[in-house]
Amino acid sequence: MHVSRSLVQAIDFGRVADQYRRLRAAHPRARALTIKRYINDDQGLSFEEYECSVERGHTWSYSGTQYGGDDESYGGEGRVYCCHCGADGDA
C-alpha cells in the first residue's frame, strides 16, 4: 500500500525531524519520548524546564525572608523557583 503525503505534511515532517535532531544532539541523555512530547507540546518552556516538569517534577524553593531566605521582595515572600531547572514558579 502506497501512502502519499501532501507537500504541507512533508514540510511539517521535515521541521519536526530537524527539531528532534537538534534537541537529541544538545541533550543526548534525554529520553526520545520526552523530546517528541516537547516538540509537540508548545508550553513556552525551555527544554530543561519541560524535561524537569515531566520527568521528575519540579521541586520548589522559596527565597523570601518568611521562609528563611534573604529576599524581601513581594512583602517577604520572595521568589519561587525550581531547585533543579530554575523555572520561575510565579510565572
The whole-number pLDDT of residue 91 equals 53
Statement: residue 66 has pLDDT above 90: no
Reported pTM = 0.63
Position 36 in a domain: yes
The boundaries of the domain holding residue 29 are: 1-42
From its phi and psi, is residue 63 left (phi > 0), alpha (psi between -120 and 50) or beta? alpha
Position 73 in a domain: no
Task: Report the sign of the C-alpha dihedral through residues 14, 20, 25, 28, in that order.
Answer: negative
- As for how many domains the chain has, the answer is 1
Statement: residue 52 has pLDDT above 90: no
Mean pLDDT of the region 84-91? 76
Statement: residue 28 has pLDDT above 90: yes
Q: How confident is the model at residue 15 (pLDDT cuts 50, 70, 90)?
A: very high
